Amino acid sequence: MAKAPVLTPQSDDFPRWYQDLINKAELADNGPVRGTMVVRPYGYSLWERMQSEMDDRIKRAGADNAYFPLFIPQSYLSREAEHVEGFSPELAVVTHAGGKDLEEPVVVRPTSETIINEYFSKWVQSYRDLPLLINQWANVVRWELRPRVFLRTTEFLWQEGHTAHATFEDARDYAAKIHREAYEDFMVNVLALSVVPGRKTKAERFAGAINTLTCEAMMRDGKALQMGTSHELGQNFAKAFDTQYLAKDGSREHVWQTSWGSSTRMVGGLIMGHGDDNGLRVPPRLAPIQAVVVAIKEDEGVLAEIKAIADRLSAAGVRVRVDDRTDTPFGRRAVDWELKGVPLRIELGPRDLAEGQAVVARRIPGGKSPVSFEKLTETVLAALEEDQETLLRESRERRESHTADVATVEEALEASATGWARIPWATLGVEGEKQLAAQAVTVRCLVREDGGVPESDDEPGAIAVVGRSY
C-alpha cells in the first residue's frame, strides 16, 4: 500500500526523523524550561515496562529500593574533588525557599553519591552490615547546553544503584554483576539491542570512579549510544565521607563502593535502534501493547468479536489493547499503531467475521495475512517470539556490518563516518584517543577479543571500539 511518508525518511535527515517520530507517535513534548521534557502516556508506558524489567533484575541482584532527597547541601559535592569538578558546570541551585534566601544554597541532585554516602557512613558499622546494596528510582537534573529529548535532557528519570562492600574484589564483582546480569541482559534480551559490553578509558570514566563499565549500542545511523554504566568507586567517596566498618579482625576499614545507572535515555536508544521510516518498532518482550485488535468499522458483531479475541489473547498472556474507535478512519488508526510500533495489529471487518478470520498485520517483518479465529492465539504467540529474535538479529547484523577492524587513527576516523571501528588499544593509546576526540570521535569502550571486558586499561590485547556518539 503506497503511503505519503508520515515521517522525514531516516536517510534524508536522521535527527529530524527522530524528532518527527517522537512528535507523531506522541512519545514526548519539550518542556517549558529549556531542556526539560514531558513524557506522554505512550512514551511513559515504554519507560514503565523498562522500569519493571530492570527493577526485577536489580532486586534479583540483591539490592533494595530506597529514596534519598532531591536537595543536596552544596558543601557535600565539594568533598570528592573529581566529582565536584565533573558536575559543577551542570548544577541547578535553589537559593530561595519558603519566602526567604537560604543560608546555604542547595543543589538539585545531578546524581546521589554524595548524599547517599552521608547516610552510608551512619548505617554501616560492622562487617555484618556489608554488603549494603541500595537502588533508587528518581529524577535528576543536569543543566544541558545541547538538549535532545530522551537522549540529553536537563531533567531525566533513572535508577541509580549505590553499594558498599568490605573488599575491593567484592565491589569489583558486584559492579560487573550489575553490568552483565541487569544491564546487558535487559538490553539484549528485552530491548533486543545487540550492545557491546566494555570498559571505559580513563578519559571517559565517571567523575570520581576508578573504573566504569558500559553497554554501548549502535543506532541505525551508525552512531553509538551509551545505554547504562556501572562504576567501581574504589574508596574515593568512602574517604570523603568517612564511611568505615569494623572488620572481623577488629580493625577499621573504609568500604569499597559501586554506583550504576540507567535512564530514560534508553527510550531514545529504543527509538534509534529499531525505528524505521514508518515509526517505532517495539520488541515484543518490552512492548506495553504487544497486539492491538482493531475494528475496521462500526458493526455489532465485529465489536463483540474483537473483545472476545482480546480476552483470549489476554488469557494467553499477551498484552493486548482493543481499538474500537470507529469514529476515526481506519487508515488513520492503522498509521498511528505503526508509528507507535505495536508488533501486531489484528484487523477485523464484517467480511472477515463472516469468514471466521482476522487479518494479522506484522509491524516488524511487515506484511499482512488472514488467520482463522482458531489459529489466531497460536499465530500471535509464535509471531511475537519470532519478532523478538528478528529485531535482535537485525541489531547484531547492523552492528557487525558497520564495524571495521582498523590499524590506524586515520582508518578509525574514516570508519566512524558510517559506524564503528575496532583498533588495538596498544596502537591507539591516550594520544590517539586525543586525536580522535578532536574530530568528535570517542573510544566507546575497551573490549577483549573474546567479548569479555578487560580488567585494566593496559591489559595486553585490549581493543578499543571507537565511534561518534550521542
Q: Which residues bind a second copy (CB under 8 A)?
A: 29, 31-33, 36-41, 43-45, 47-48, 64-73, 76, 88-99, 105-106, 108, 115, 118-119, 122, 128, 134, 138-139, 141, 143-145, 154-155, 157, 327-328
Give the list of residues 6+ apart from residue 386 with CB closer than 8 angstroms, or none.
Answer: 365
Decide the pairing of beta strands 320-323 and 291-295: parallel
d(C-alpha 84, C-alpha 76), whole Å: 9
Q: State the nearest-atom distance from the C-beta of 348 to a second copy, in Å.
A: 22
Q: State the nearest-atom distance from the C-beta of 367 to a second copy, in Å.
A: 31
d(C-alpha 176, C-alpha 183), whole Å: 10
- Which cell numbers hold the place of 327? 469514529
SS (H, E, C) 357-412: EEEEEECCCCCEEEEEHHHHHHHHHHHHHHHHHHHHHHHHHHHHHCEEECCCHHHH
Q: State the nearest-atom distance from the C-beta of 135 to a second copy, in Å.
A: 9
DSSP 33: S
Residue 55 or 299: the one with the smaller Cβ distance to a second copy is 55
Residue 189 or 326: the one with the smaller Cβ distance to a second copy is 326
DSSP 260: E
Residue 6 or 102: the one with the smaller Cβ distance to a second copy is 102
Task: Assign 7 to helix, strand or coil.
Answer: coil
d(C-alpha 7, C-alpha 339), whole Å: 9
Q: State the nearest-atom distance from the C-beta of 13 to a second copy, in Å.
A: 24
Q: State the nearest-atom distance from the C-beta of 52 to a second copy, in Å.
A: 11
d(C-alpha 318, C-alpha 298), whole Å: 25
Residue 100 or 252: the one with the smaller Cβ distance to a second copy is 100
Residue 52 or 456: the one with the smaller Cβ distance to a second copy is 52
Residue 297 or 375: the one with the smaller Cβ distance to a second copy is 297
Q: State the nearest-atom distance from the C-beta of 105 to a second copy, in Å.
A: 8
Asked if omega into 15 is within 30° of 0 (cis), the reply is: no
DSSP 9: -
Residue 55 or 459: the one with the smaller Cβ distance to a second copy is 55
How many residues would you count in the chain? 470
Q: State the nearest-atom distance from the C-beta of 284 to a second copy, in Å.
A: 21
Torsions phi, psi for 278 (to 5 deg): -100, -5
Residue 107 or 361: the one with the smaller Cβ distance to a second copy is 107
DSSP 204: G
Q: State the nearest-atom distance from the C-beta of 245 to a second copy, in Å.
A: 15
Which helix (H) or strand (E) segment is 252 a member of?
strand 252-254
